[in-house]
Structure 1
Amino acid sequence: MKVLISFLVGAALVSYATLNIQQAAEPWAPKIMNMCLNPANSDTSGNLRVAYTGISNTLDRIICFYVNFNQQPLHDILGAPLMRLMMGAFGTSYAIMAFEGSRRGFKKTTLLAAFPLFGLLANFVGIFSVFSLLWIPMDLYYRGKKKDTSDWNITLPEAYGTLAGIVLGYGIPSAILASPLVKDDSSFEQDFICIWIVLPMIIIPFINVCIKFFKNQGSSIDQVRDPAFKERLYVAEGKDALERSFLFLGVLNMLNHFVNFWIVGQKGIRIWDSILLLLGAPGNLPADLTFGDLGQLLGTRTLLIDYIALSVGFVLWAVFNSGIFAGIMVILLTPIVGPAAAVSYYAYYRENKIQNIASAKTETEKAAGAAVAASSNRKKK
């Protein structure tokens, strides 16, 4: 029942947000689409460039539209900071999907196989639609089938390797793309966006390399002889690694949130007034706006709706997983630290609830917790 409700709520959210985006983008997006798809357009450079892959003329023309669409907020005074926030939220969503799919009981399910495809699809239809409409119901469906607590286990190499792969393979390129290092309207920017769109797929081998790297580092637990005790130690180690990963994402996104708000404030932009202006667009925009300025404003507005809808999706995930209290916690944290940091901190809280090894009563489990704590202390020293 919960799966069905989550799907219906997600469908309502996605339908409303998509309709809102389409209606507002009407004065600009269809015109750009027509320009890119126009057979008479054979530009190999410039804003309407249709030469990218050389594999398919149709594919290159579709890329032309998506490159133009993503360029608009990047060139806007408010859109650029918002794009950086959206990139952080996207990366966090992607990490959550990857972590959940990497748990022991989910490795042979669609949950693991789907996250690269979901990441790619999200760059075309919006991460809010993929996360809320597809991934949350699927996550709840498989969660309902897993009753054994061992199904929720994840190893340290999988946790840290996935985190490292996403941060290095997606986070850093995204930060470079949204920085002054990439010149506006340059062919390099266009090529970068073209690659960035498919990054969720092409970084999968890199994530596997990172996981293998952490596996090769070994662990002090490898020396333990008792198989049962050793297994408990691995479980505790993996749980600790996943919690640290969520905390890292929380801190990283919180810094991203604060820095970009500071940047916007330094430019003298009134954030709330700007948000209201964007939400009211295009009806409240001046009639003498150039086509380029109109594109930047409506592109930024599209990004804003995507960001808001994804924030609601984060709240829904918390509610359906842990109840109303968790959802309220995410809602209250969102204005303070940002939605991506809020859901990361919730995920840390959720991890404690899913598999609270510290609450176990057996001597073996107590010893496992003590061993992990001692190992952590040695690393700090």
Structure 2
Amino acid sequence: MTPAGRSLLYYVLKPFNLPMRDICHGSEGLAATYDAPGWITDRIVCVLVRFGQQALSEPVSLGLTATMVSTATTAYAIMSVEGARTDLSLAPLMILLGNIFGTGIIAPLVWLPLWAYFSKKYTSAIGTDRVVGIATGAVLGQLLPSVLPMVLHHRAHRNALAVLQYFPVGYGLLEHSFGWLRLPQRQDAVQLLYVGLAGINTLLFYSLVASSLWLGIPWKSQLVHIALHGTSPGDAVSYMLIWDIVALVGTFGYWIWLETSWRGVVQLLGFSMIFGPGAGLAMSAWKRETMLETKDKQKVE
């Protein structure tokens, strides 16, 4: 494990996970968290449900949660696309591990090294039906299930958070369920996928900005305070979300840098500042696809 990974685990996850682990250790804590058969009410899901419950409990952490969901949705779509190109379809496993440890930790410590190792099998061509499956999995298997708990309340809210932990299975099924379509090959299919994700995530980002302005939430000052001044018990979840987003954008910034140098990283940061991290990452992935397509055409010529 890298020093950065150890720091994220120790300084970001530990302040929240240890108290929640103690609460979920006994049957009383499990029963007070959500309704489910005994074989599902395990301690890991209990901790995750309590994390999600706190993440949606106040405006700043709710906004961070929505931002993290949009960024993670784009990240998992990229993992699926690159998995199709390298015969390494691990996106459902990455979602499962991301739910437990945080996507910002799993992406640099697990996915990126595996992608680098298997990139020697890289092929730029992906079937259009596979891209349709990835798009469906990203929207129906990741984005919508993650947004659903935000509009529910009380017990249904907690139960939805519990069910969410098992959605990686649905994502994997959707990703591979459209081979029967036999769609004609489109060279721009992956680019259209990223453009669509950029549009959805931009809409989500500006909805959050408009809501915060309408409600008069001083989110900028609160985010700076939480990020720079460590964790109090009430800010532990927001602190984790901030650094999870930073780690995720940083990981894919490095991934983009490998192909596009610093110009791609600067574009990623600029897009993220204007359109939000989820849309920024999708736009940068689209730019990368455009560059790869140009390189392929030059090789043919």
- Distance in 2 between the 1:138 and 1:299 partners? 29
Q: Is 2:38 the counterpart of 1:100?
A: no
Partner of 2:280: 342
Q: Is 2:19 the counterpart of 1:34?
A: no
Which of 238, 249, 252 matches 1:300? 238
1:231-310 to 2 correspondences below 5 Å: 234=185, 237=186, 239-281=187-229, 294-295=233-234, 297-310=235-248
Task: Answer whether contact 1:37 1:62 (CA < 8 A) is retained.
Answer: no
Task: Answer whether contact 1:76 1:300 (CA < 8 A) is retained.
Answer: no
Q: Is 2:266 the counterpart of 1:328?
A: yes
- Distance in 2 between the 1:65 and 1:165 partners? 25
Q: How many pairs are equivalent?
A: 300
Partner of 1:225: none
- Distance in 2 between the 1:274 and 1:242 partners? 37
Distance 1:38 1:361, change over 3 A: closer
- Distance in 1 between the 2:59 and 2:29 partners? 31
1:114-193 to 2 correspondences below 5 Å: 114-143=90-119, 145-146=120-121, 151-179=123-151, 182-183=152-153, 186-193=154-161
Which of 21, 42, 61 matches 2:12? 21
Amino acid at match of 1:277: H
Distance 1:248 1:14, change over 3 A: same
Amino acid at match of 2:222: S
Instruction: Please state whether the residue corresponding to 2:59 is helix, strand or coil.
Output: coil
Q: RMSD of aligned C-alpha atoms?
A: 2.4
- Distance in 2 between the 1:126 and 1:361 partners? 41
- Runs (4 or more) in structure 1 with deviation over 4 Å come to 280-283, 357-362
Q: Percent identity?
A: 21
- Distance in 2 between the 1:252 and 1:16 partners? 33
Q: Deviations over 1:7-44 (max 9, x none)?
A: x8xx3433333333146x2xx542332121035x2663
Which of 284, 288, 291 matches 1:353? 291
- Distance in 2 between the 1:134 and 1:311 partners? 15
Q: Is 2:166 the counterpart of 1:198?
A: yes
Q: CA deviation at 1:277?
A: 2.1
Q: CA deviation at 1:358?
A: 5.1
Amino acid at match of 1:243: Q
- Distance in 1 between the 2:104 and 2:143 partners? 18
- Distance in 1 between the 2:29 and 2:66 partners? 32
Q: CA deviation at 1:78?
A: 0.9
- Distance in 2 between the 1:42 and 1:301 partners? 24
- Distance in 1 between the 2:247 and 2:129 partners? 32
- Distance in 2 between the 1:99 and 1:270 partners? 38
Task: Answer whether contact 1:161 1:213 (CA < 8 A) is retained.
Answer: no
Amino acid at match of 1:124: I
- Distance in 1 between the 2:17 and 2:118 partners? 38
Task: Answer whether contact 1:67 1:193 (CA < 8 A) is retained.
Answer: yes
Q: CA deviation at 1:282?
A: 5.4
Amino acid at match of 1:66: L
Q: CA deviation at 1:99?
A: 0.9
Q: CA deviation at 1:360?
A: 6.8
Instruction: Please state whether the residue corresponding to 1:154 is helix, strand or coil.
Output: coil
Q: Deviations over 1:138-161 (max 9, x none)?
A: 222222x247xxx22101111122
Distance 1:334 1:13, change over 3 A: farther
Runs of at least 5 residues in structure 1 that lack an aligned partner in the other structure: 1-7, 220-233, 286-293, 363-381
Amino acid at match of 1:75: S
Task: Answer whether contact 1:177 1:193 (CA < 8 A) is retained.
Answer: yes
Q: CA deviation at 1:127?
A: 0.3
Instruction: Please state whether the residue corresponding to 1:37 is helix, strand or coil.
Output: coil
- Distance in 1 between the 2:118 and 2:171 partners? 25
Distance 1:146 1:205, change over 3 A: closer
- Distance in 2 between the 1:314 and 1:264 partners? 28
Distance 1:250 1:34, change over 3 A: same
Task: Answer whether contact 1:281 1:298 (CA < 8 A) is retained.
Answer: no
